[in-house]
Amino acid sequence: MAASRPRRSVALHTKILLALLFGAIAGVASNIYAGDSPQLAWITDNVAQPVGQIFLRLLFMVVVPLVFASVTMGVASLGDLRRIGRVGTKTLLIFLATTAVAVVVGLALVNVIRPGESLDPAIRTALMAEYSSEAGQKVVLSEENRFGINTLVNIVPRNPVAAAANGDMLGLIFFSLMFGIALTLIAKESAAPVMRLLEGVNQAVMVIIGFAMRLAPLGVAGLIFSVTSKFGFDILKSLGLYVVTVLLALAVHQFGVIAMIARFVAGIGPRTFFSRSRALMITAFSTSSSNATLPTTIRTAEENFGVPRQIAGFVLPLGATMNMNGTAMFEGVTVLFLAQVFGVQLDLLTQLIVVIMCVITAIGVAGVPSGSIPLLVMVLGMVGVPGEGIALILGVDRILDMARTVPNVTADLLTSLLVAKSERLPLVVPARQESAA
């Protein structure tokens, strides 16, 4: 009797992708056939949404210890302060360069397609009326968080524990950087126990991430179903050309710019780069959060691309907070779209200011769903477009938020590869990776 073949397990990224498709199809079908029925609302609020939120909370739960352990160990492992400064400078320059390119790509497309000129005035009035209350809240929030000298001051936290508790990632990262630098300046025998403790924390966090990723297919299906069951197609029809412009710009940057940099600078072919990043991109799309995706980003960089831990631990937490290619592009496209809607002419110099402001504000965006909206209001005000105009795009922001998070985290991963290569550190890419992080 012939021996039975062992059953081949389905890769995690395949399970997540199938769950994503199932949730999306089920959500759209429910919206079409059930509409605003109380039964659908009950299923969304009591089944799909809780499952998705549990998955998200498991990921958010480990972000603070992961960032502290990873950044501190990454800095301490780099050792020489001059090397820390060199790696940090390279990281920031890559962040700024890729983000600026993303904004320019977006502005070029919106100038060619001009989606704002196709929006019916009646639809504009209806959207303004429907979302005016939410838009007003975002305008107030943008006033409370206006950029200035205090933005720089607030990077230094009064209390690192409070910064961690309040989700102030820049403050937490600054403290972690200082703590890591301090470890390089004290005696090795004093630093060694701390490093062992951080290593233990890091390993324990990775185990928890493994638990979370087992729930990922159910969580992803729940999150996508919650969005698509409420979303419908009506709002997409109204803002179709704007949505197409944003998605096209994101696709050009993701599969054009990032792919070319991966191929010609990092030396990794686009097919290899994207195939090994599938779980990362799916997680980013479903969670709409760079912070929630950070654990998966670090695992992908280390396990699928062989990025050294000290580089991944230093670069990727910074990227989740400061490197927002897709978000900056979305801001630029939206500013020009709303300017076209309201008949505000923006000359080349003003558009250059838009590029600069989108790059700067993207650094301060919270790595959570819709974190860019308050800062977008600020940029609108700078170029003479009514901040309340964001009411026009709030109905489709969730789906666009999901899409723009993908190039955000993919650019973070790419940056870690580029920095590792520039430091002449070997990237051990497995010949075949059966299960993605």
The tens digit of pLDDT for each residue in 156-194 reads 888 988 888 887 777 888 898 889 889 888 888 888 899
Give the count of domains, the chain: 1
Residue 252 confidence (pLDDT): 96
**Is position 265 within any domain?**
yes
The tens digit of pLDDT for each residue in 306-351 reads 999 889 988 999 888 888 899 999 999 999 998 888 888 888 888 9
Q: Rounded to whole angstroms, how far apart are CA atoms 424 and 7? A: 41
Mean pLDDT of the chain: 82
**Is position 196 within any domain?**
yes
**Is position 365 within any domain?**
yes
Band (pLDDT 50/70/90 cuts) for residue 155 is: confident
Residue type for 160, please? P
Q: Rounded to whole angstroms, how far apart are CA atoms 81 and 236? A: 51
**Is position 137 within any domain?**
yes
**Is position 432 within any domain?**
no
- Count the neighbouring beta carbons within 10 Å of the beta carbon of residue 46: 10
**Is position 2 within any domain?**
no
Cα–Cα–Cα angle for 323, 326, 330, rounded to 5 degrees: 125
The tens digit of pLDDT for each residue in 210-226 reads 888 888 888 888 888 88
Q: Is 9 helix (H, G, I), strand (E, B) or coil?
A: coil
Residue 435 confidence (pLDDT): 39
**Is position 105 within any domain?**
yes
The tens digit of pLDDT for each residue in 393-409 reads 877 787 888 899 999 99
CATH assignment at residue 374: 1.10.3860.10
The tens digit of pLDDT for each residue in 270-301 reads 999 999 999 899 889 888 888 888 888 998 99
Residue 263 confidence (pLDDT): 94
Is the pLDDT confidence value at 433 over 60? no
**Is position 179 within any domain?**
yes
Instruction: Give Cα separations from 78 to 73, 206, 318, 331, 342 (angstroms).
Output: 8, 22, 16, 35, 51
The parent domain of residue 328 ranges over: 12-79+93-422
Q: Rounded to whole angstroms, how far apart are CA atoms 312 and 383? A: 38
Residue 233 confidence (pLDDT): 59
